[in-house]
A and B are shown apart, each in its own frame.
Chain A
Amino acid sequence: MNEIGAFIIEKSAVGVFVFIVLLTIVAYATLGERKIAGFFQDRHGPNRAGPWGLLQVVADGVKFFMKEEFNPDRANKVLFIIAPTFTFMAAGFLMAVIPFGDRMIIGGREVLLQLADINIGILYILAIGSLGVYGIITGGWASNNKYSLMGGLRSSSQMISYEIAMGLAIVALILDHGSFSLRDIVLNQTGPIWNWSVFTHPIGFLIFLVATFAEASRVPFDLPEAENEIVAGYHTEYSAMKFGLFMFGEYVHMTLASGLIATLYFGGWSIPFVATPAEPGIFWGLLTFGVFWAKTLFFMFVFMWVRWTLPRFRYDQLMNLGWKRLIPLGLLNIFVMALILLWTGGAGMD
């Protein structure tokens, strides 16, 4: 019983710690997005609330709660209210398997900075990622608005198309690393910097990056909410905190997707050329935690960089890219990777 109690306390502590850091970073990502937009458009961005606009996040939160809650006439009320929570939950569930840091020893007990190191980690990510569409599609349908419905339909077909490309990129990665566990994949990338998967899987990385943009519905793949065609897409009818949850869920998704890119292709929490010490203390744990977030923040910046640089795709271009370019490229990538592994005898061969 003592062991179980300690386990529950450990996982709860890690979970709460990671969740607070995640939510803080996500909240400030909404500010960072506008600051970066300002930078790209040669203006200041929000700078009225607090020094450098740092209190803008609080102001936004208060605003979301104070605005009028509006339910459209003849909308499906239950689904209309529950849909934003679907989006938020599906994004938040991704947190469970991402390795935020290395193991550390606190008071003689080994603590892993990861909620669950399960042997199907990558499949879990794909499975939960495929659920994110439910919030958007039910929200779009329940609004009883044709623009919302169009947004929901676009989203579902887009997600299904790009999920396949993402899965193909990951299959090549699994072939190389010989494990589904995200911690194993990070451990395989420790050591010299050329151990990072991005150097061994450049094409896979490209496919994964593009598919991630599509899965997170970010520009240039934000067709579900293309405002010049379908008003605001699936969240046209949403207001106040219900809209806030949709937006927040989208940022959580973007943050964790960036974390996933860092984990799978850029070594996760590992520091190039630095090995884990024999007695990793709390300092080492927090250091790896910081390294993970540094890499993640960089990819969040890339997400925003692309958003304020590229125009949106047309719908047929989106489908052509997904089905006629990325999927054949992904299959070719797997084939070449399998040939190379057969030649050299990789990690999965035994």
Chain B
Amino acid sequence: MDAQTIVFAILALISLFSGIMVVTRKNPVHSILFLVLMFFCFAGFYVMLGATFLAAIQVLVYAGAIMVLFLFVVMMLNLRDPEALEGGTSFFQTLGFVVAIGFGIVLLAFLAGKPGPGVPTFPPGEAAYALGDAKSLGQELFHNYVFPFEIAGILLLAAVIGAVALAKRERV
């Protein structure tokens, strides 16, 4: 057992555990905090793959900004007694369970027989690091993929303008 396998195993166990906790907790605040933990583990995977820039962005944007907004909204809604949500299983809970099981079976059937990607090497070597850092990512984005990049930028701009327009609309 070498170092990268151990690190990978620890990260995988924590992310699986927190993933299960996210969907099983009754209290939405607990779910969000476990989701943050899961995003941390993902950042760890990115570092193991040599994508250091992506790892930092993962923590900065997902764990640091989006999840804070989630937490903010959940607290504003202030679900007073999460235990009260308990009760018999509704139709949608059953449906969700069936869909999840079905998706799991399809996923396993697809992956069965294919060679797994294996454990990423750690450290990933010069080539992987050179691919994953900010400089090479920027060069790829602004040389080879400049058109999709600009399109994504326009999409985001449209979303921002739409949000501002919705927020500023006169109440009737």
Residue numbers of A with Cβ under 8 A of B are 76, 79, 118-120, 123-124, 126-131, 133-134, 137-138, 141, 149, 152-153, 156-157, 159-160, 163, 180
Q: Could you tell me if A160 and B68 are in contact, using CB atoms closer than 8 angstroms?
A: yes
Q: How far is the CB of B156 from chain A (nearest CB, A)?
A: 14
| 4 further interface pairs, Cβ-Cβ under 8 Å (given A119-B134, A130-B65) | A120-B53, A130-B59, A156-B71, A156-B72
In the assembled complex, B153 has its CB within 8 A of some CB on chain A: no
Partner of B75, one of A126, A131, A137: A137
Cα–Cα distance between A152 and B72 once the two chains are bound (Å) = 9
* A119-B134, A120-B53, A153-B75 known; A127 vs B60 contact (CB < 8 Å): yes
Q: How far is the CB of B69 from chain A (nearest CB, A)?
A: 7
- Total B residues in contact with A, Cβ cutoff 8 Å: 24
B-chain residues with CB within 8 Å of residue A129 when the two chains form the complex: 64
Cα–Cα distance between A157 and B73 once the two chains are bound (Å) = 11
B-chain residues with CB within 8 Å of residue A157 when the two chains form the complex: 72
Q: Could you tell me if A123 and B60 are in contact, using CB atoms closer than 8 angstroms?
A: yes
Q: Which of B45-82 contact A (CB under 8 A)?
A: 52-53, 55-57, 59-60, 63-65, 68-69, 71-72, 75-76, 78
Main secondary structure of the interface of B (DSSP, over half): helix
What are 20 A-B interface contacts by the 8 Å CB criterion?
A76-B27, A119-B134, A120-B53, A120-B56, A127-B56, A127-B57, A130-B59, A130-B60, A131-B59, A134-B33, A137-B75, A141-B29, A141-B71, A141-B75, A153-B72, A156-B68, A156-B72, A157-B72, A159-B68, A163-B65
Main secondary structure of the interface of A (DSSP, over half): helix
Number of A-B contacts (CB under 8 A): 73
Q: Which of B27-41 contact A (CB under 8 A)?
A: 27, 29-30, 33, 36
Q: How far is the CB of A160 from chain B (nearest CB, A)?
A: 6
* A119-B133, A119-B134, A120-B133 known; A127 vs B59 contact (CB < 8 Å): yes
Q: How far is the CB of A215 from chain B (nearest CB, A)?
A: 12
Q: How far is the CB of A313 from chain B (nearest CB, A)?
A: 20
The 3 closest A-B pairs by CB, nearest first: A130-B64, A123-B56, A127-B59
Cα–Cα distance between A128 and B36 once the two chains are bound (Å) = 13
Q: Could you tell me if A119 and B75 are in contact, using CB atoms closer than 8 angstroms?
A: no
Cα–Cα distance between A243 and B36 once the two chains are bound (Å) = 24
Q: How far is the CB of B35 from chain A (nearest CB, A)?
A: 12
Closest to B75 in A: A141
Cα–Cα distance between A126 and B65 once the two chains are bound (Å) = 11
A-chain residues with CB within 8 Å of residue B30 when the two chains form the complex: 79
Cα–Cα distance between A134 and B35 once the two chains are bound (Å) = 13
Q: How far is the CB of B3 from chain A (nearest CB, A)?
A: 9
